[in-house]
Amino acid sequence: MNRLEYLRKTLPKNIEDNLGYRNIEFLLLNYNSKDNLDDWVNSEMKEYLDSGILKYYKTVKPKYFLMSHSKNVIAKKANGDIICNVDADNFIGDGFAFHINKAFQNNPNIVLVVDKEKGSKDCFGRICIWRDDFLKIKGYDESMKGYGFEDFDLRNRLSFLGRKEVFIRNKRFLNALEHDDFSRLENEPNFDLVRGIYYQHINHYSSYLLYLFQDFTFYFGKLVAYELKNTQSVDNIFQEYYKNHQNSLLENPIWNVEKSKWETGEYIFFSNGIKLIFEDREEHLYRLKNDKLTSQKNKNSNFIKCNDSGDWNKLIMFFSQINNCIKMIKNKNENKIIVNDSYGEVELVT
């Protein structure tokens, strides 16, 4: 969705670098893109379309970019024995198809992935998997609506099938175009649907966060930076060791919403404030003045509105990632292999 700027540079190069491997197909999904992707593909990529090396699919249904759903839609169209997801900003490198084939010939019981400790985060979405395995686990978790962790969740669920991770080590295969987080988020639902974000500083390791959505629902939670919370612990004597050996947010979050759970409900604007109607506890009134929310029960409890665009993007990214991370951890703890009833369903147009 709206990634033609990247595809102009990556897709022709990726195809050219792997034409030597004959048993290959590239599949491209236009996920309701608004940037003349149709015209570019049908003109500049016509040679590859005509030869069948490139197969092009389009849907005009999605309003927002949904990572898991879009990946499932296109993966189900693949005909090869092995599916490899490639994000639009990725260069796969000269001879990558041969590398995939060799890896799976050496050991069929694998999934080919990027090392989450040493690899570039821009390439974390690169996952090569048996098509039969993909169909067996019913693809990426489509309950994940935000950015990130859908790929690590897929890897976890493949491990429950007994698949072993093999890392793509050669840096030739792991290059990507650089871009900021705004580009990662601009087509996603949270970026558009969040109406306001408020925060309240508690202490050096925690703050309250309040997200107000356009549909008059809200998410309220306590953000805890666990790396800072335990600053009196003797573990901090070995802080550098733990920084180098932890799995960060993937396994043992260094920051999270307390108890990995948001409080939710609906809110109502009135003349000079906001009423939060919680699902699981009594409602709460806040007076609104000069972008500050003050609790009617505790005058020292003040929420400040986030008006800085850089901080806004960071808080949207946090909200997207932490919700997917919470779902990933839940799936792992419950040893879930299949998480979707149906997946990759959408109306495609020609």
Task: Tell me the CA distances in angstroms from 109 to 162, 163, 165, 212, 274, one per residue in order.
Answer: 7, 5, 9, 46, 55
Are 168 and 139 in the same domain? yes
- Which CATH number do you get for residue 134? 3.90.550.10
Are 188 and 91 in the same domain? no
Domain of residue 147, residue span: 4-178
For the chain, helix (H) and strand (E) counts, in that order, are 12, 17
Compute the distance between CA of residue 198 and CA of residue 101 in angstroms, rounded to an integer: 50
Q: Domain for residue 342, yes or no?
A: no
Closest CA to 115 of 158, 67, 171: 171
- Count of structural domains, the chain: 2
Residues 67/321, Cβ–Cβ less than 8 Å: no
Are 113 and 150 in the same domain? yes
Compute the distance between CA of residue 338 and CA of residue 262 in angstroms, rounded to an integer: 25
Are 159 and 301 in the same domain? no
Residues 250/297, Cβ–Cβ less than 8 Å: no
Q: What amino acid is encoded at 126 in this protein?
A: R
Q: Specify the pTM.
A: 0.89
Q: Domain for residue 337, yes or no?
A: no
Q: What is the DSSP letter of 160?
A: T
Task: Report residue 59: phi and psi, to 5°.
Answer: -130, 140
Task: Tell me the CA distances in angstroms from 103 to 21, 112, 156, 207, one per residue in order.
Answer: 14, 8, 20, 46
Instruction: Give Cα 237 distance to the centre of its chain.
Output: 34
Are 48 and 128 in the same domain? yes
Compute the distance between CA of residue 114 and CA of residue 126 in angstroms, rounded to an integer: 7
Chunked into runs of 10 residues, the chain (350 residues) has average pLDDT values of 96 98 96 96 97 97 96 97 97 98 98 89 94 98 93 96 97 91 83 94 89 97 77 46 38 68 95 93 91 86 91 91 92 96 94
Are 153 and 65 in the same domain? yes
Q: Domain for residue 149, yes or no?
A: yes
- Where do we find the tokens 């030597």? 20
- Which CATH number do you get for residue 258? 2.40.128.300
Closest CA to 149 of 189, 192, 197, 116: 116
Are 126 and 195 in the same domain? no
Q: How many residues does the chain have?
A: 350
Alpha-helical regions (H) of 209-294: 226-229, 239-245
Are 226 and 106 in the same domain? no
Q: Domain for residue 336, yes or no?
A: no
Closest CA to 11 of 57, 54, 59: 54
Q: Domain for residue 95, yes or no?
A: yes
Q: Domain for residue 94, yes or no?
A: yes
Give the alpha-carbon dihedral of 261, 195, 316, 283, to 10 degrees.
-20
What is residue 27's three-state secondary structure? strand
Are 22 and 126 in the same domain? yes
Are 218 and 150 in the same domain? no
Q: Domain for residue 339, yes or no?
A: no
Are 81 and 119 in the same domain? yes
Task: Write the DSSP assignment of 138-154 as a string of letters.
Answer: TSS-TT--SSSSHHHHH
Are 233 and 145 in the same domain? no
Q: Establish how many alpha carbons lie within 13 A of residue 333's alpha carbon, considering only the half-sphere containing its beta carbon.
A: 9
Closest CA to 140 of 290, 338, 288: 338
SS3 content of the chain, % helix, strand, coil (to 5): 35, 25, 40
Compute the distance between CA of residue 122 and CA of residue 285 in angstroms, rounded to an integer: 43
Q: What angle do the packed helices 309-333 and 150-159 form, to 10 degrees?
A: 10
Domain boundary among 152, 178, 204: 178
Domain boundary among 111, 143, 178: 178
Residues 192/319, Cβ–Cβ less than 8 Å: no
Angle at CA of residue 172, ends 127 and 11, nearest 5°: 65
Q: Domain for residue 78, yes or no?
A: yes
